[in-house]
Structure 1
Amino acid sequence: MDLPTVLVTGFDPFAGNDINPSGELARRLGELGHPDCHLVADVLPVSFTRAPQLLAAAIDAHQPDILLMLGLAEHRHALTPERVALNLADADNPDNDGDQPAEAPLEPHGPAARFTTLPVKQIAHAIDAAGIPAHVSLTAGSYVCNAVLYTALGIAEQRGDHGKHAAAGPDGSEHHQPRLRAGFIHVPATPQLGGDPRFTLDELERGIRIALTTILGTPA
């Protein structure tokens, strides 16, 4: 039986920081892998324009069954799986390209919100039960993290809810795309960023691995 393909993404540093734990986690997971899946990783720019485009390209390239996106929430004190992505770009600070949208839709004709297709309550419970603080968060905010989640869930909707379906390739031939389950987890700051000493990169990796095991063990 073929192992499922999992794409994990994180982000580059932003807001003047030298590191971003989400990007470091993605790189580490991509290098070390996971025994129950074929795991690939990508690190996205903190850019309202480029991050969704590069995410869509990575999904096309890897054809994942599961997409787990990671981002940094510096002032949180837990790992927080996100339930909802909003059709909203509203930035308190510019992104790494200098863009600072205000109360703008991500997709002018898109739905107001899209819901994750990952089992957020089970993920949070499993991480918390392992001694790593975790709880479900309602929305991914209105910054670039939210933008990539909204984009990914739109792609998941296009692929449909039941198994694999045929789509036209560049040459006009049919190819099959796996159903995509997608979601987002915000991680707190590590000690290097002035965060809680409990949340070392090793501890965050342990939490994300628990999340992956939970997702892989939950029927699609």
Structure 2
Amino acid sequence: MQHTQPSSPYRTILVTGFEPFGGETINPSWEAARQLDGWVYQGAKVVARQMPCVFGAAYDALAAALREVAPQIVICVGQASNRSDFSVERIAINIDDARIPDNAGRQPVDVPVVADGPAAYFSSLPIKAIVQAVRAAGIPASMSQTAGTYVCNHLFYAACHLRATRYDGLRKAGFIHVPLSPEQAAHHAGHASMSIDTVARALRVTVETCLKRDADVTLAAGQVS
């Protein structure tokens, strides 16, 4: 007798990437995310949306995408030039503290993402399972303890806050940082890179893991300092 695998309870996964910023002409987070747009896995469809690299506008764009798509999982992705691997973020903090202006020239300093919001949110993605699965696929990956204080953290906090306060159907939300693409790194001596196709492959593994697992794995992945 053949046994069919039960279908996933998830029907839509939203994957977001950012527009270019900081003088770059591309953003690998979006170039990789867009490769997944329309992909169907175990009955669940991926929808990709580009986010503006602008404080406030990114929050609003994500809220609009959630209303439009009504996903059960949202995976936000952003570029970080100081990352050397596929970095799965653990925690979003309620602060905007911009070292450089965003794409609209805004540069908030010590401003909360959400006034009177919680100090922080933990990712609800199975973050350690994702790291484990991406590594098993032959792609460098790690868990990160900070998403920074720029628009990436702003969007990560927005995803978590919207999940907690407005969208009961949104079961999982989190954020992943990816390195520069090789084309970008060629102009930044000493910076690591990862091809956009490799990032897209890691994102597919991430989606698969999120669909297969509700509980995370026990894996020592913290940092001493």
Q: Would you say the 8 A contact 1:10–1:69 is kept in 2?
A: yes
- CA distance in 2 between counterparts of 1:30 and 1:88 reads 31
Q: Would you say the 8 A contact 1:83–1:138 is kept in 2?
A: yes
Aligned length, in residue pairs: 202
1:210 alignment partner in structure 2: 205
Q: Aligned partner of 2:46: which letter?
A: L
- CA distance in 2 between counterparts of 1:179 and 1:149 reads 14
Q: Show structure 1 runs of 5+ residues with no match.
A: 161-176
Matched, 1:121 2:128: yes
Alignment of 1:1-220 (within 5 A): 4-31=11-38, 33-36=39-42, 37-158=44-165, 178-194=169-185, 196=192, 199-219=194-214
Report the secondary structure of 2:89's partner residue: strand
Q: Would you say the 8 A contact 1:90–1:101 is kept in 2?
A: yes
Task: Quote how far apart the aligned CAs of 1:103 are.
Answer: 1.3
Q: Aligned partner of 2:171: which letter?
A: L
Q: Would you say the 8 A contact 1:159–1:178 is kept in 2?
A: no
- CA distance in 2 between counterparts of 1:65 and 1:3 reads 6
Report the secondary structure of 2:142's partner residue: coil
Task: Quote how far apart the aligned CAs of 1:159 are.
Answer: 5.1
> What TM-score comes out, normalization by structure 2 length?
0.85
- CA distance in 2 between counterparts of 1:34 and 1:141 reads 32
- CA distance in 2 between counterparts of 1:14 and 1:100 reads 13
Task: Quote how far apart the aligned CAs of 1:77 are.
Answer: 0.6
- CA distance in 1 between counterparts of 2:177 and 2:28 reads 10
- CA distance in 1 between counterparts of 2:199 and 2:40 reads 15
Q: Would you say the 8 A contact 2:10–2:211 is kept in 1?
A: no
- CA distance in 2 between counterparts of 1:219 and 1:124 reads 15
Q: Would you say the 8 A contact 2:83–2:192 is kept in 1?
A: no
Q: Would you say the 8 A contact 1:8–1:42 is kept in 2?
A: yes
2:223 alignment partner in structure 1: none
- CA distance in 1 between counterparts of 2:119 and 2:10 reads 34
Q: Aligned partner of 1:184: which letter?
A: F
Task: Quote how far apart the aligned CAs of 1:136 are.
Answer: 0.4
Q: Give me the identity figure in percent.
A: 42
Q: Aligned partner of 1:18: which letter?
A: T
Deviation >4 Å, runs of 4+: none
- CA distance in 1 between counterparts of 2:126 and 2:41 reads 20
Q: Would you say the 8 A contact 1:159–1:180 is kept in 2?
A: no
Report the secondary structure of 1:135's partner residue: strand
> What TM-score comes out, normalization by structure 1 length?
0.87
